[in-house]
Structure 1
Amino acid sequence: MTRPIGKTLAGLALGAVMAGSLAAQEESVKFSIALPLSGPLAFSGEVQQAGWQSALEYINANGGAAGRPIEAEFYDDEYKVDLGVAGFKRAASAGDLVFAAGDGTPFVRAISPENNDTYRVLMSATGFASDLVDTERYKYHFLPGPTYSDMVRELFAYMKAETENPTVALVYSTTEFGRDPIENARAYADEMGIEIVLEEETKWSGVDVTASAIKLRNAAADYVIFHGYAGNVWPEILKTARDYRVESTFMGTAYNSDPEMVRGVGPAVDGYVGVVPYDLTMEDAEGEYAVAIRDSLQEWEAKEYNGYANMGYVQSWITALILRDVIAGAIEAGEELNGENLIARINDLEDWDSKGILGDVTFVDQRIPSAVVYRYSVSDDAFSMTELDY
């Protein structure tokens, strides 16, 4: 498969993916994709770029979008909103941009007013912010997965199935990301008969976790949900809480539940329950798309295949596949490839066959409101994930 590549243009790292033989036959469909390819989140951007590249290679090798190849230009925004906006405007000014992928919700919030009024380009992004269901504010944005509030509600549904009158502690960062689902979580708890016995807000980094662990011991909740971190803080709170003999079931939302991240915490995280947007277990993959993802992971020389997929890698794939189908439908119907026509086709998707990635997909408020819940088994020399049925 194609490895991530880059070259400099106006200070931004760029790369392109297109199947040459197909490109010679038909005009390409242009994508612009912003990713953090440098800086502290470069590890995430590189995985997402690899996912996009392998997905587009697969799509173009199988006829593209109604015979037209998809060409993606990548640029490094360093996870900075101003760079993301500048890159989007540069790409959109050419007049032939069909889709733009943003790097996180802050970028989407910054560009959406202007995109709604001026560019009207179909968009998506890596974030799962709860307000993305506001289809007037984000007219041309779709989310190929659940919101953070959807994820919390899914964890609450699991609690209710497992425990009578469950209690829960919410541990989250002070960031906008961390606070995102908390108000909805309170409403869901009231609705579902779940008691929130502790809300513990921590800094994003540099946290003395001892105080949080003591609060968790005193709260004695049946469950503890971590949200709003990126591999930082929550593992130390969990480990310290275990040392303090906290017996709660620890849980987390998507960015705390990537297989590689959970495995890295070590045996203290054994029994953890995490919610993610997609099926990330690859060894038992069934369905054309899931098998194609597994094959691409096995061929990826830069990263050793371990039987599981990174969430960002799969998100790139499912986004590309959905786009291929809605763009192909518009081409075949003779429609202009603009945001109005394409978001309408996104909204009309019902029981779309994800072929092993997530089951049948129906969009509601321009997002996929379903998820997968796993229990993680972790020891010094073994790791596994079991999908929970409840």
Structure 2
Amino acid sequence: MRMMKSVLAACLMGVLAVTASVAEEAKGEPLNFSIALPLSGPLAFSGQVQQAGWQTAIAWINAQGGVKGRPIAADFYDDEYKVDLGVAGFKKAASAGDLVFAAGDGTPFVRAISPENNDTYKVLMSATGFASDLVDTTKYAYHFLPGPTYSDMVGLLLEHIADNKTGDEAPKVAMVYSATEFGRDPLEAFRSRAADLGIEIVLEEETKWSGVDVTSSAIKLRNAAPDYVIFHGYAGNVWPEVLKTAKDYGVDATFMGTAYNSDPEMVKSVGASVDGYLGVVPYILDVDGAEGEYAAAIRDALKAWEGKPYTGYANMGYVQSWLTALILREAIGQTMDAGKELNGTNLIAAINGLDGWDSKGIVGGVTFVNQRLPKAIIYKFNVGEDSFSMEPVTDLVTTGE
């Protein structure tokens, strides 16, 4: 279903109020974006926050004069996280012509549409998934990933473990992951990187995506006695129960997780049992202390979100939407300055040509490697019954090197 109006209109009105006095609205020919998101169904909580990020970012950009005087016009549609609906929406938008950019809701969508897009439409694309094979720039010729891959994230967690080794014994690590393509994605890289770093893998535990009794997983963790447990391949499901039950069974380990397990609100909702959890994310999420023009714009937008208390921390998907929109403004602007057509070939070349572009408080300097942005940071989550905070335990670093 088409959703031409915001599901979070109050948030959009707030950022418009913040930006209206900054500059005159762009009034040139619109730059057309098509953005698929799961705005209903089981992942609606994520899709709606991502939509709010896109809408506030686009409102801010347009209030700054758009892209060389041309406003961004985004058409959002609900694909319910179903590949067939996402592909149908993309084809409709691309067939109408003048489509500058299309966003998808995850890697399955990108995999489904990329062969046809490579051959026929040649539209610049991005999506919310961090699949490890997205570094294949022939297979995904017009797709860019504004973040690291899952393998990059797991690799950074393992490097942190190795850097904090004490004594002569190899650190012992368990991986708990979902029985999905998403969950299994970084397993090969996990095994290889652990071997390189001298880390012993004592358990690889696969669970169902949902509706699972976690007792057996907790018992396996107790028997394996890992020093660290990495969760991957979940959203807000399963892993919190595994963590809580494992602790009840006496598992004395440091618990860690990749990006989709590590949004501040999600971790906070788990409660005090998650205290000390380490989460790797692609962006600076403690926006209260972030410095830079774009971080300040995100902070202002979050403060203006009517009905949603400002916490000083940002949702990962919200920040990803902002960063993607800002990268697009830069790449499209450079392409226009060069007098080139706004097609996928020229735009992906502009993306690949970014060399240390200043994200102004979001993720440091932006340089794409194999059409992905390999940057990440590990946060420690401090969670009490009535308290919550995040502190970085690593710098914002380049991953996958």
TM-score (norm 1): 0.95
Matched, 1:196 2:196: no
Q: Map 1:185-224 to 2 at 5 A.
A: 185-224=190-229
Q: Report the CA distance between 1:83 and its aligned residue.
A: 0.6
For 1:255, the equivalent position in structure 2 comes to: 260
Q: Map 1:45-56 to 2 at 5 A.
A: 45-56=47-58
For 2:375, the equivalent position in structure 1 comes to: 370
Q: Report the CA distance between 1:166 and its aligned residue.
A: 1.5
User: 138, 147, 160: which is aligned to 2:140?
Assistant: 138
Deviation string 1:274-332 (CA, Å, 9 cap, x unpaired) is 00010000211211101110100000114221111000000000000000000000011
- For the 8 Å contact 1:22–1:68, the answer to whether it is kept is no
- For the 8 Å contact 2:24–2:65, the answer to whether it is kept is no
Q: Report the CA distance between 1:361 and its aligned residue.
A: 1.4
Alpha-carbon distance in structure 2 between the residues aligned to 1:289 and 1:13: 27
Alpha-carbon distance in structure 2 between the residues aligned to 1:108 and 1:88: 10
- For the 8 Å contact 1:104–1:127, the answer to whether it is kept is yes
User: 10, 14, 32: which is aligned to 2:4?
Assistant: 14
Matched, 1:111 2:86: no
For 1:7, the equivalent position in structure 2 comes to: none
For 1:293, the equivalent position in structure 2 comes to: 298
Q: Report the CA distance between 1:22 and its aligned residue.
A: 3.7
User: 154, 157, 170: which is aligned to 1:155?
Assistant: 157
For 2:280, the equivalent position in structure 1 comes to: 275
Number of paired residues?
379
Q: Report the CA distance between 1:389 and its aligned residue.
A: 2.8
For 1:4, the equivalent position in structure 2 comes to: none
For 2:248, the equivalent position in structure 1 comes to: 243
For 1:121, the equivalent position in structure 2 comes to: 123
User: 150, 171, 178: which is aligned to 1:173?
Assistant: 178
Alpha-carbon distance in structure 2 between the residues aligned to 1:207 and 1:319: 35
- For the 8 Å contact 2:175–2:204, the answer to whether it is kept is yes
For 1:5, the equivalent position in structure 2 comes to: none
Q: Report the CA distance between 1:253 and its aligned residue.
A: 0.2
Q: Report the CA distance between 1:12 and its aligned residue.
A: 3.0
- For the 8 Å contact 2:146–2:320, the answer to whether it is kept is yes
Matched, 1:307 2:307: no
Residue 285 of structure 1 aligns with an amino acid whose one-letter code is A
- For the 8 Å contact 2:35–2:103, the answer to whether it is kept is yes
- For the 8 Å contact 2:25–2:64, the answer to whether it is kept is no
Residue 199 of structure 2 aligns with an amino acid whose one-letter code is I
- SS of 1:247's equivalent in the other structure is coil
Matched, 1:342 2:347: yes
Residue 194 of structure 2 aligns with an amino acid whose one-letter code is A
Alpha-carbon distance in structure 1 between the residues aligned to 2:146 and 2:292: 18
Residue 136 of structure 2 aligns with an amino acid whose one-letter code is D
For 2:66, the equivalent position in structure 1 comes to: 64
Alpha-carbon distance in structure 2 between the residues aligned to 1:389 and 1:226: 19
For 1:183, the equivalent position in structure 2 comes to: 188
For 1:6, the equivalent position in structure 2 comes to: none
Matched, 1:387 2:375: no
Residue 74 of structure 2 aligns with an amino acid whose one-letter code is A
For 2:398, the equivalent position in structure 1 comes to: none
Deviation string 1:238-293 (CA, Å, 9 cap, x unpaired) is 00111111111000000000000000111110000000010000211211101110
- SS of 1:205's equivalent in the other structure is coil
- For the 8 Å contact 1:259–1:309, the answer to whether it is kept is yes
- SS of 1:72's equivalent in the other structure is strand
Alpha-carbon distance in structure 2 between the residues aligned to 1:66 and 1:161: 46
Q: Report the CA distance between 1:21 and its aligned residue.
A: 6.2
Gaps of 5+ in 2: 7-11, 396-401
- SS of 2:309's equivalent in the other structure is coil
For 2:9, the equivalent position in structure 1 comes to: none
Residue 290 of structure 1 aligns with an amino acid whose one-letter code is A
- SS of 1:14's equivalent in the other structure is coil
User: 80, 85, 90: which is aligned to 1:78?
Assistant: 80
Alpha-carbon distance in structure 2 between the residues aligned to 1:15 and 1:91: 17
- For the 8 Å contact 2:235–2:261, the answer to whether it is kept is yes
Alpha-carbon distance in structure 2 between the residues aligned to 1:309 and 1:22: 26
Q: Report the CA distance between 1:15 and its aligned residue.
A: 3.8
Alpha-carbon distance in structure 2 between the residues aligned to 1:350 and 1:21: 30
TM-score (norm 2): 0.92
- SS of 1:315's equivalent in the other structure is helix
Q: Over aligned residues, Cα RMSD in angstroms?
A: 1.5
Alpha-carbon distance in structure 2 between the residues aligned to 1:270 and 1:288: 32
Does 38-47 or 144-153 show the bigger shift? Answer: 38-47
Matched, 1:97 2:87: no
Alpha-carbon distance in structure 2 between the residues aligned to 1:167 and 1:40: 35
Does 279-288 or 131-140 show the bigger shift? Answer: 279-288
Residue 286 of structure 1 aligns with an amino acid whose one-letter code is E
Residue 352 of structure 1 aligns with an amino acid whose one-letter code is W
Alpha-carbon distance in structure 2 between the residues aligned to 1:292 and 1:203: 39
Q: Report the CA distance between 1:66 and its aligned residue.
A: 1.5
Q: Report the CA distance between 1:357 and its aligned residue.
A: 0.5
- For the 8 Å contact 2:229–2:256, the answer to whether it is kept is yes
For 1:32, the equivalent position in structure 2 comes to: 34
Deviation string 1:84-127 (CA, Å, 9 cap, x unpaired) is 00110111011100000001100000000000000000000010
- SS of 2:215's equivalent in the other structure is helix
Residue 76 of structure 1 aligns with an amino acid whose one-letter code is D
